[in-house]
Structure 1
Amino acid sequence: MICFLIFLATYILMECVTWCTHKFVMHGFLWYLHEDHHQPKYAHIFERNDVFFVIFAIPSILLFYFGAQNGFDYKFFIGLGIFAYGMSYFLVHDIMIHQRFKLFKNTKNKYLLGLRKGHKVHHKHLGKEHGECFGMLFVPFKYFKF
């Protein structure tokens, strides 16, 4: 049970980490890597922004490794929480919102439509300033129609 709680707490905490990283790092000193994500799409399948997937994967991989070395201790389940959040991010952000793979185009799910709307508001700014709605799974209620 404690393993599941560690996993769940890490998964939820990753939304906070993502928000802070997006606002202060991606729209800050590493804007160079994130900038192409805010530009109109071009023919390349990859963006410089994709480097952030690798950056977030490194702690997860290390925690998996060192947690498994110690009999699958808490580090393994923290790594699992980071990994699960990363998979959720990929599915929601890259597939559902940005349609990098043409799946789930016609959803009527109010939650997913709210996420899309919040993300569109974020992307209306092509520069790094004046950004809003930096989260991914939790966006302000004003973007949801009930």
Structure 2
Amino acid sequence: MSTWVHILVFFLTFSMMEFMAWFTHKYVMHGFLWNLHADHHKKDHDSWFERNDAFFIFYAIVSISFFLLWKYNILEIGLAIGIGIFAYGLAYFFVHDIFIHQRFKLFRNANNIYAKAVRRAHKMHHKHTGKEDGECFGMLIVPWKYFKK
């Protein structure tokens, strides 16, 4: 397979992860695994870690699985898929945990139009403390209405 195919698969995987994040957030985190996600909406503990962090572990295992499929010559594009999932997870971590929730005090002064839209959308998501009536379940793709304010 050519290098270009691997690059294309990487970008497609990264892009599809935004949909997977939205789907998982809406139907799994705000669904049958709400017990793991609830502490992210309403902090009921003193720990820096949240039960919600288990979702990072799940996607890390999926990413590592694709690395292993590639390593053992089971799936040639496994490396591209694994890196795509990893890169999305890293972007998610920087945007969600560092930029929005300030788990590390970095990027506090980012104030461009995209940064403001991401913050607004996420604030609207967190205004709902229960699992119902949520909105803005994605992360990197923000509804247009949040750019207009």
Pick from 71, 76, 87 the counterpart of residue 73 of structure 1.
76
Q: What is the TM-score normalised by the length of structure 2?
A: 0.93
Pick from 21, 41, 46 the counterpart of residue 43 of structure 1.
46
- Deviation of 1:113 after TM superposition, in Å, equals 1.2
Pick from 78, 87, 92 the counterpart of residue 89 of structure 1.
92
Which one-letter code corresponds to 1:70 in the other structure?
N
Pick from 76, 98, 103 the counterpart of residue 101 of structure 2.
98
CA contact (8 A) 1:110 1:145 kept: no
Percent of pairs with identical residues:
56
Match of 1:130 in 2: 133
Match of 1:63 in 2: 66
Runs (5+) with no aligned partner, structure 1: none
- Counterparts of 1:40 and 1:50 in 2: how far apart (Å)? 13
- Counterparts of 1:132 and 1:56 in 2: how far apart (Å)? 22
- Counterparts of 1:42 and 1:103 in 2: how far apart (Å)? 23
Cα RMSD after superposing both structures: 1.5
How many residues align? The count is 146
- Deviation of 1:110 after TM superposition, in Å, equals 1.1
Match of 2:111 in 1: 108
- Structure 1 runs (4+) greater than 6 angstroms displaced: none
Q: What is the TM-score normalised by the length of structure 1?
A: 0.95
- Counterparts of 1:71 and 1:32 in 2: how far apart (Å)? 36
- Deviation of 1:142 after TM superposition, in Å, equals 0.5
User: Secondary structure at the residue paired with 1:125?
Assistant: coil
